Amino acid sequence: MNAIETLSNEKILTDIIEIKTHCPCGQPKDKRALLCRKCRDKERGIPLCVQCKQRPKVKGRYKLCKECRRQKFGESDLRKKMNGDLKKKYDIDLEQLEQMFISQAGKCAICLDDFKTTKNMCVDHNHTTGQIRQLLCQKCNSAIGFFKENPLILARAIDYLNRWHV
């Protein structure tokens, strides 16, 4: 192989690598995605934040992203929204949630792991009566749901684990 053939082969290889790792707009993209996040969002019709011109991390009805909303309206706007969501879903307010958090020392009631973020924190409640129980992490809350909130099934699972515990 001569030097010209080697250079052209290297050019073809770099072009292929560039296509695999970059979107047509030139931005890096995920391994399995065809487009970068900005191009995917544009294709899906997700609007830009009117203030900072960035795509919001969370899709919603707002024209501003979360950071710009926080700058414009302050924390009170976000607290009002969260308070309304809690009232509608569990019939408690933000102060009651904060009291539950403090009384549990910021830990899940089952596994006793610290809550890393509020996204990790779930208000556990009885789906039949609607009664609020305690705060759980997502994993423990999901586990209770998978066991259909049935203590008998959970007791069988504990027996099973004890039987096979080494």
Residue ranges per domain, the chain?
Answer: 75-164
Q: Does domain 75-164 have CATH number 3.40.1800.10?
A: yes
Assessment of whether the complete model's pTM goes beyond 0.75:
no
CA distance 110 to 116: 15
Q: Let me know: does 86 contact 97? Beta carbons within 8 Å.
A: yes
**pLDDT confidence of residue 130:** 87
Q: Let me know: does 56 contact 71? Beta carbons within 8 Å.
A: no
CA distance 33 to 7: 29
**pLDDT confidence of residue 110:** 96
CA distance 66 to 58: 8
Q: Give the distance, in angstroms, between the CA of residue 43 and the centroid of all CA atoms in the same chain.
A: 22
Q: For residue 119, give both structure tokens.
A: 């996204």
Query: Which residues of the chain, if any, have pLDDT below 70?
Result: 1-66, 74-75, 77, 166
